[in-house]
Amino acid sequence: SEKFSLGLVTTSGCIGLLFAPSLPLILYAVVAQQLNVGPAVSINDMFLAAAVPGVLLIVLLGLWSFWRNRQAARRKAFSLRAALHALKGNSWELPLPVFVLGGVYGGWFAVSEAAAVTALYVLVVEVVILREIPLRKLPAITTEAMVLVGGILIILGVSVSTTNYVIDAEIPARLFTWTQDHISNKYVFLLLLNLFLLALGAFLNIFSAVVMVVPLILPVAVGYGIHPVHLGVIFLANLQIGYLMPPAGLDLCISAFRFGRPIHEIVKASLPFAVIILVTVLVITYWPALSLWAIGG
């Protein structure tokens, strides 16, 4: 259905936060290293620790999507010829992830430069090789893309303004001072931490949240015996739901703009997927081995 498709496309935009080379994972590791509280945190540790929870999230979303559309899906017998034909038809698209990730990890370009390299690769393939986009249409496509980018910049500008207000009001510091004074149970702390991060993600962009809140949370969490790497996975898993929560959910705003739908319609379409992510967050929170086994923690 159209509603399911809207929810699926909107939700897919936030799943990549738990997979390398996610910038929020890198930023969390850098901030944690500067704090030097508890066990050491490296960028590779964050990449490894977040991978299994990320795969679990994809599996749960996939299972729910399959169950949701179990009656609507058409069943076809497997055909090797059709599979090879599909591979041939996507022969220029399939190498793109390998090309981008290989370039990042091989040191050919930075993560921020990978977006420009990807755009250039796609432009050459679509215009020169496959010729699916005529040159005369490029100005119109560029104009449409710039309108979308402008909308995103407005959203980010409002988010930064909100961040500045929250910092000036010292709201996070007050909350965590209260937490240290009134909560002694680790599991209650984790529950309240999840609620706090969910609310935070609805108002702040993820980069501002990492820079502003991690220095406040990390020392408190280590005091409760929570591994900093596990905390990072919890932190980002919660904040990715913020992309799907009004009023500042970036994915909601982009989908509403891109597909020409009211924001409340996108929220309703994304709600079942957000519930699945929330269940995954609870599993990640109370099963630390899921995140820590990959780093031997």
- Determine the straight-line distance between the first and last CA of the chain, rounded to whole angstroms: 43
Minimum mean pLDDT range among 10-14, 101-105, 123-127: 101-105
Residue 79 belongs to a domain: no
* Spatial CB neighbours of 9, under 8 Å, sequence gap ≥ 6: 255
Residue 233 belongs to a domain: yes
Residue 120 belongs to a domain: no
C-alpha distances (whole Å) from 78 to each of 27, 66, 75, 95 are: 44, 18, 9, 24
pTM: 0.74
- Distance of alpha carbon 154 from alpha carbon 266, whole angstroms: 19
Average pLDDT over residues 109-122: 81
Residue 88 belongs to a domain: no
Q: Which domain holds residue 220?
A: 2-71+137-295
Residue 20 belongs to a domain: yes
Residue 212 belongs to a domain: yes
Residue 237 belongs to a domain: yes
pLDDT of residue 170: 72
pLDDT of residue 172: 62
Minimum mean pLDDT range among 3-12, 94-103, 171-180, 217-226: 171-180
pLDDT of residue 294: 87
Q: What is the pLDDT of residues 126-181, one digit of tens each?
A: 888 888 888 888 899 888 888 877 876 776 677 667 656 766 777 666 766 777 77
Residue 110 belongs to a domain: no
pLDDT of residue 227: 93
pLDDT of residue 163: 59
Average pLDDT over residues 239-247: 82
The number of folded domains in the chain is 1
